[in-house]
């Protein structure tokens, strides 16, 4: 049974922001909801949920909608994203591949 999820405020806010950015981008580009939905390859219903900031839709479709609406994810375009991707890949090789829980716990203050 899949439990009902709870989300941190940051998560809810981020979802809401992204949804609004997509809607704004879509409107500024003069696209109807049906237009964008067709291009993304989803239904108008799902796009509506995305713009509403719902947590359920697949991240792939949301990011695709953002891309087609002109929203720059991570404030970066294609090229910068690829560069960033490379940097992160490098950084990952410098980190331990496996996390061995030491005595110092996760220190989850807050």
Binding site for a copy of itself (CB under 8 A): 3, 5-11, 13-18, 20-21, 23-24, 26-33, 35, 39, 41, 54-64, 66-68, 73-75, 77-78, 81-82, 84-85, 88-89, 91-92, 95-96, 99, 101-102, 104, 106, 108
- Separation of alpha carbons 39 and 37, rounded Å: 5
Choose the one of a copy of itself, DNA, none that binds residue 10, judging by a C-beta under 5 to 8 angstroms depending on kind: a copy of itself
Backbone torsions φ then ψ of 14, nearest 5 degrees = -65, -40
Neighbouring CB atoms inside 10 A of 18's CB total 19
The alpha carbons of the chain give a radius of gyration, in whole angstroms, of: 18
Cβ atoms of 31 and 81 within 8 Å: the answer is no
Q: Residue numbers of the site for DNA (CB under 7 A)?
A: 1-4, 27, 32-34, 41-46, 48-49, 51-52, 54-58, 61, 96-102
């Amino acid at each position: 049974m899949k439990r009902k999820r709870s989300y941190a405020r940051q998560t809810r806010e981020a979802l809401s922001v992204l949804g609004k950015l997509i809607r704004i981008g879509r409107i500024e580009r003069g696209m109807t909801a049906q237009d964008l939905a067709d291009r993304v390859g989803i239904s108008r219903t799902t796009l509506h949920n995305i713009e509403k900031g719902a947590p359920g839709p697949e991240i792939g479709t949301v990011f695709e909608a953002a891309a087609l609406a002109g929203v720059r994810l991570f404030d970066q375009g294609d090229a910068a994203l690829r560069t960033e991707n490379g940097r992160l890949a490098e950084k990952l090789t410098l980190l331990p591949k496996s996390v061995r829980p030491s005595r110092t716990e996760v220190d989850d203050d807050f």
